[in-house]
Amino acid sequence: MEFPQLRMESTSAQIGIQTKNASNQIQQPQADLSIEQPKAELSIHTTNSILTIDQSQARADVELKTMTQNIDEFAQKGYQDNLAGIARRVNQGNELMKIENNGNPIASQAKMNSEKPTKEIAIKFVPSVGSVKINYEPAKVHIDAEVRKPIINVKANKPIVQYEPGKVDVYLQKKNELKINVEMINIKK
């Protein structure tokens, strides 16, 4: 006996996928930087030192006097000697006026006027100690410094970004199929 038999043959559908990767490029340009350092302002003011040496007393001690000093000294000595002479003559005149008092004023005055005064002998340091006078005023230094801060300019640059998105293409590579056949089969009893 013949019996119909169905035969089915199917193939699955095949999907094809094609991808393109995304690309991302990032560049970071360096920042623009400028630094300027102005010079500091420095001013220095000095007053000169002063050294004075006065050796006029030392020179006078060794008889090296100026003409003015000699004239002044001689005038002063002459004046003092003149006053001493006037005083001596006044005293001697008073003694002679009072001759009636006891004593012999003429002989004593003659003896006093004829004798030279005795000179004293002593050690003398020439020039005298401390006769050179030294005065020193040190220099004065005044420093003014004005600090200048650096001038810094910074400009940040934005990053450069290039992005291409990825792409996925999905397509049907092979269609699905279903084949149905009817065949007659003999079946034995």
pLDDT at 71 over 80: yes
pLDDT tens for residues 76-88?
999 999 999 999 8
Q: Judge contact between 188 and 6, C-beta under 8 A.
A: no
On the CB side of 122, how many CA atoms lie within 13 Å of its CA? 6
pLDDT tens for residues 161-172?
999 998 999 888
Cα distance between residue 81 and residue 64, in whole Å: 23
pLDDT at 3 over 70: yes
pLDDT band at 99 (very low <50, low <70, confident <90, very high): confident
Question: E strands along the chain, which residues?
Answer: 2-11, 14-20, 23-27, 32-36, 41-47, 50-54, 133-137, 140-146, 151-155, 160-164, 167-174, 177-186
CA proximity to 163, closest of 55, 56, 26, 69: 26
Asked if the bond preceding 127 is cis, omega within 30° of 0, the reply is yes
The average confidence (pLDDT) of the chain is 87
What's the whole-number mean pLDDT along residues 95-103? 80
CA 176 from centre of chain: 93
Write down the domain spans for the chain: 1-30+166-189, 68-114
pLDDT at 136 over 80: yes
- pLDDT of 45 reads 93
